[in-house]
Structure 1
Amino acid sequence: MVTLWAVLPGDIDDPAAPSGGNRYDRTVLSLLPDVHEIAVPGSWPTPSDATRATLGHALSEIPDMSDVLVDGLVGCGVPEALAPHATRLRLIMLVHLPLSDETGLSPGEADDLRERERRALHLATTVIATSSAAADRVAGMHGLAHVAIAPPGVEPAPLAEPDPAGRRLLCVAAVTPRKGQDLLVGALEEDLAGLDWTCTFAGALVRPVPHTDPRLHFAGPLGDGALAKAYGETDLLILPSRAETYGMVVTEALARGIPVLASDVGGVSEALGTAPDGTRPGLLVPPGDRTALAAALRSWLTGAALRDRLRTAAHARRDTLPGWDETARRLDTACRPA
């Protein structure tokens, strides 16, 4: 078996910095044979000198003609570190989210990151994305003829026990402008203050959102056991992202029969999917639209028939979710030369 070298973010196993990308890398690589990992300090989205220097040195130590999977967080912003090795290594770039899609960048910063990523991806022999929507976007943005797809899987999980009123809300994501927690806080505090709800935010507090309502609880990053408990006590998962490649928390909720309210952006609709009868197990709203988010939440909190319909669909969708073994198979196929 030929060794697969994997260049990964240095914080991949840091419990204080959980992320969907890190969970994806760790889970899928654990299912592949003969993987040699190299940790490199990442810097999102702007590349750092440490990333550049460490990546260049790491690649120089890898034998010629090796297959090297490079996480986009590490490699997409530093094409100058990849270029000296592009002809002697088979570089495979895994793009979780295009660099220029990060929220809050100036036009100049976005243009620079987009150009850096374009150069990096054109040095690769293979580019992999984690959803069909992301693959289409990356291919179109950077003029690539083909982008392979390896969507995330999900672990089986026990069904959550619903509260009939549907009042227990959960948002699982690092607290950043891209994830849109500010929109959700505004909708709950200002538009839905008179309704009965509680909302827990699970994720690293990268940029905390000001709030005053005691029903809003920012729990910080949760370990596996605590996160499983939070899901088990949830009626509706909310993902109000402004940009999202896939949204692994969507399928994590569906695996527990929990409906989802999310922004219709990137691969989220792909992750949400439909039940076998075609019913969607959640609600999608335009990204960045607090009014639409509040209206959907009001419909959920005040509509028993809607809650029952979405719960039924979520339970049915649960049985059709892909496992991580399929992700590993697709990633391995893309990484190995024909």
Structure 2
Amino acid sequence: MPGGVDDPAAPSGGNTYDRRICRDLPRLGWEVHEHAVAGDWPQPRAAARAELARILRESADGTLVLLDGLVACAVPDIIVPEAERLRLAVLVHLPLGDESGLAPDAAAALDAEERRTLRAVAAVVATSDWAADRLVDHHGLEPGRVHAAAPGADIAPLATGTVTGTATGSAPHLLCVAAVTPRKGQHDLVKALAGVADLPWNCSLVGGLGQDPAYVTRLRELIGELGLGDRVHLAGPRTGPGLNASYAAADLLVLTSHAETYGMAVTEALARGVPVLATAVGGLPEAVGHAPDGSVPGVLVPPKDPAALTAALRQWLRDPGERHRAKAAARRRRTALAGWETTSRSLAKALEQLRQEPRRTI
């Protein structure tokens, strides 16, 4: 089962997902052959396009191929001709047209290319129930061909936050884990933080800085203009022990995305008992979820609304009772999180269904 994936070295949620399923599917009896196709996806150059076409062309008739949507969705001219010969499935982490910062005509073109691809392939896998429903509605897909396999979470040691008097001091430590791009909405967060500058806190923005350098520059300028340079820190990307340390020091995860199919940073925080303040967009409410007793491990606010975010932050920062409630609910939610084995089994079920079906005629 070849699988087209993005750069496996990049610290993103999508790549973490891809690496985990490639590692875990063999434990469920699947034989997996990985093919990483280097390129500037979803706008590849000729060499990357040729490499993807070669991999598909050299796959035997009837081979089951799982492709990352970032690779597959923008090249229907390569995917569609192979859809009758191969058993193709596409894993969609984020619809291409949902990426922020795209010109309207560029977003529309990507959306149309994605629709052609997804209508041609035999199966589509989304990373949340919300995302699966949206793909069905938005692209007019057959519901029976669209499956959900939400990311899992590895339960980790409980975060200590600022309670132990670490280098962050006694001020609550806020953490945002997301690539610094317009879609992740860090500018909304910075504006909201300016509205609670009279209260003690500090905030780390952990995430890649290379996807949109112009946005990063504007964000740095905004932080300076609002006088938050000593309290808001762009930490850059972190993985492994560095990322674990960031979560361990956090009192609250803040995610202000404008579009999100799930939000792995949310469950990674909850896996450490860290409550969440997030925008109620896309699959984020699904990721936040509920503790077994029905309590919500944090707060959801409207997207693109710094005023609502400021109000929620002020409530959390000023009210010890609210902080205790959210932390207790996060710790209860932690015990109910699904692991990556659940993800792999959900994906394997979709792939097994595809393997047993006759090849499609389009």
TM-score interval for Structure 1 and Structure 2 normalised by the shorter chain: over 0.9
Note if 1:330 corresponds to 2:346: yes
Q: Deviations over 1:132-161 (max 9, x none)?
A: 110011111110112100000011100011
Question: 2:152, 2:109 → 1: CA distance?
Answer: 33
Structure 2 SS opposite 1:27: helix
Q: Deviations over 1:272-302 (max 9, x none)?
A: 1001111100110111111111111111111
Q: Show structure 1 runs of 4+ deviating over 6 A.
A: none
Note if 1:126 corresponds to 2:120: no
The residue that corresponds to 1:193 in the other structure is 197
Q: CA deviation at 1:248?
A: 0.4
Matches within 5 A, 1:177-188: 177-188=182-193
Structure 2 SS opposite 1:321: coil
Matches within 5 A, 1:269-308: 269-308=285-324
Structure 2 SS opposite 1:151: coil
Note if 1:65 corresponds to 2:62: yes
Question: 2:249, 2:263 → 1: CA distance?
Answer: 20
Q: Deviations over 1:198-252 (max 9, x none)?
A: 1011111133122222111111111210110111110000110000010001000
Structure 2 SS opposite 1:226: helix
Structure 2 SS opposite 1:68: strand
Note if 1:175 corresponds to 2:180: yes
The residue that corresponds to 1:86 in the other structure is 83
Could you tell me which amino acid in structure 2 is paired with residue 95 of structure 1? V
Instruction: Structure 1: state its 5+ residue gaps.
Output: none
Could you tell me which amino acid in structure 2 is paired with residue 18 of structure 1? P
Could you tell me which amino acid in structure 1 is paired with residue 58 of structure 2? E
Q: Deviations over 1:318-338 (max 9, x none)?
A: 000000001001111111223
Note if 1:252 corresponds to 2:252: no
Q: CA deviation at 1:185?
A: 1.3
Q: CA deviation at 1:47?
A: 4.6
Percent identity (aligned)? 52
Q: 2:136 aligns with which of 98, 118, 139?
A: 139
**Aligned residues of 1:51 and 1:74 also touching (Cα < 8 A):** no
Q: What TM-score do you get using the length of structure 1 for normalisation? A: 0.95
Q: CA deviation at 1:123?
A: 1.5
Could you tell me which amino acid in structure 1 is paired with residue 191 of structure 2? G
Q: CA deviation at 1:265?
A: 0.7
- Residues 241 and 50 of structure 1: is their aligned pair in 2 closer, same or farther, counting only changes over 3 Å? farther
How many aligned residue pairs are there?
A: 330
Question: 2:127, 2:87 → 1: CA distance?
Answer: 20
The residue that corresponds to 2:242 in the other structure is 226
- Residues 42 and 218 of structure 1: is their aligned pair in 2 closer, same or farther, counting only changes over 3 Å? same
Instruction: Identify the range of structure 1 (105-114 vs 322-331) with the bigger mean alpha-carbon deviation.
Output: 105-114
Structure 2 SS opposite 1:104: coil
Note if 1:39 corresponds to 2:32: no
Q: What TM-score do you get using the length of structure 2 for normalisation? A: 0.88
Question: 2:32, 2:331 → 1: CA distance?
Answer: 36
Structure 1 SS opposite 2:25: coil
